[in-house]
Amino acid sequence: MHYISTRGRPERRKFCEILLEGLAPDGGLYVPENYPLVDDVMLNRWRGLSYPDLAFEILSLYIDDIPPADLKAICAKTYTSKVFGTDRITPVRTLETGLHVAELSNGPTLAFKDMAMQLLGNLLEYELARRGEELNILGATSGDTGSAAEYAMRGKKGIRVFMMSPHGRMSAFQQAQMFSLQDSNINNIAIEGVFDDCQDIVKAVSGDTDFKQRHRIGAVNSINWARLVAQVVYYFSAYFQVTEENSSKVDFTVPSGNFGNVCAGHVARMMGLPISRLVVATNENDVLDEFFRTGVYRVRGRVGTFETSSPSMDISKASNLERFVFDLLGCDASRTRSLFDDQLRESGSFDLSGDPAFVQVADRFGFRSGKSTHADRLETIRDTWHRFNALIDPHTADGVKVARMHSGPGMPMVVLETALPVKFAGTIREALGREPDRPQRFDGIEELPKRFEVLPADAKTVKSYIAGLVQGGAS
C-alpha cells in the first residue's frame, strides 16, 4: 500500500513514512492510492471478532511495512478493557427504535479522540524505537484532541509534545486535563486566538521543510492518516452491533468540526461497508453544513467563529474536507490544490455548486448535513435525560438533534458519541440543574497546578519556542 498527496506531489510513500511526517511537503494530505475493498465473505468473518482483532484486520489492509505479528500486538496492547472500561471497547446503546449511540468516550480522557490517539501513541513509539529516532509532535486542539494526545504520549520514549489550544476557549475541565499534566515531555501552548489560528500554525510549521526536518516535527491531528484510519474501525464495529446480516444498510450521524471523524466514515463507506448516509452535524459554526447544502466552502476567520456550548466544534476551517473533495473530483490533485491552496488563500472560499461533481455529494457519496444551536442542545439534553435516562454531552446532543432531522423508518441511525458530559458541566447544569457524574480519578482536577505557556498567534514565535526547548534538551 502506497500513499499520495491530495495536491499532486509525485512521491509515493509507505505507511510508516507518513506516520512520522503528517502533512505532505506540498501542503496536501496523504491518502491511499486506492481504498481496499471488503466483500461479503470478509464482513462475515469480521462479525464475530473482538475489537483489537477487528482493528488488526482493517489496519492490515493499509499497513504493510510493519510485520503482522507486531501490528497485531500493538492493537492488542491498545484496545483493552483496562484502558476503555469494557471488552466491547465501543458498545452501542439504543435510545429508541432505530436511533442508537456508539459509545466512543470510555477511554482515558473521556472523548472519542482516545480511540485513535491511544493507537497512534503506540505506533509512534514502536516506529521510533525501530529507527532509533526521536519526534517532536506539534498539534492543535479545540478541546479533546490535545488531552487525548497528551495522555497517549505522556512518558513515551523518544516523543515530545507541543500542543496548542485557543487561550480561554475550552471548558474548565478540558483545560485542566491538559494543563495539569506535569510530565516532562508534555508542553502546552495557549494561543491568543481561535482554533483555526492554532491549526494554521501547525500547517505553517509543517510547510517549513527545513525547520520540520531539523527539529523532527510530526503531527497527531487528523491530518495524520494513521489517526484517521484508526477511526474507521469503530464504524465497522458499530455496524456489526446494529445489524444481523450484511444486506442491511445503516446511517451514521457524526458531530463534526474538522471533518476528521466523519471522513473516517467516508473511508469505511468507500471500502464497501454498507453505509447508506453520512450525516454531518455542526453547531453554529456551520461551515460544513453550508458546504454540503450549497457547494460553497467559506472559511469564517477569527471574527466569524462563534464561541459555543459545544466548543470542540468551534472550527471554521475543516482540514480533512480536502480528502473528501479529492475523491469527489476524481482524485484530480491539480484541481484540489487550486481549491485548497490558491482559492482559499486568495479569497477564503471556493464554490462547487455549479460543478457537475457536486451532485455526487449526496447521490454517490451519501452525505447529508444539518446544524444545531445552543437552544437545540439544551432541549436535546433534557429530552434524552427525561425520556431515556441517558445523559449526553453537548456535541453528542448536536448529533442527536441533526440525526432526528434525517432519520427514516426502517433504517438504523447511529450517532457517534463525542465525549462524556462531565467535560461540559456548565451546559449540563444549565440544561438539567444538576452536575454530571464524574469519574473519581478526575475529582478536583480543576484545582490542580497548571503548566502552560501563552503565546501570540504567530508561527515564527511558536517555532522559536519549540527550537529553544528542543535545542536546550528541555521540555
Active site residues: 113
**Amino acid occupying residue 181:** L
Cβ neighbours, 10 Å, residue 155: 12
Encode the chain in three state secondary structure. CCEEECCCCCCCECHHHHHHHCCCCCCCCEEECCCCCCCHHHHHHHHCCCHHHHHHHHHHCCCCCCCHHHHHHHHHHHCCHHHHCCCCCCCEEEEECCEEEECCCCCCCCECHHHHHHHHHHHHHHHHHHHCCCEEEEEECCCHHHHHHHHHHCCCCCEEEEEEEECCCCCHHHHHHHHCCCCCCEEEEEEECCHHHHHHHHHHHHHCHHHHHHCCEECCCCCCHHHHHHHHHHHHHHHHHHCCCCCCCEEEEEECCCCHHHHHHHHHHHHCCCEEEEEEEECCCCHHHHHHHHCEEECCCCCCCCCCCCHHHCCCCCCCHHHHHHHHCCCCHHHHHHHHHHHHHHHCEEECCCCHHHHHHHHCCCEEEEECCHHHHHHHHHHHHHHHCCCCCHHHHHHHHHHHHHCCCCCCEEEECCECHHHHHHHHHHHHCCCCCCCHHHCCHHHCCCCCEEEECCHHHHHHHHHHHHHHCCC
**Partners of 371 in the beta sheet?**
282
Cβ neighbours, 10 Å, residue 292: 23
Please enumerate in sequence order all residues whose Cβ is within 8 A of that of 453, keeping only pairs 6 or more positions apart, or say none: 187, 188, 189, 190, 465
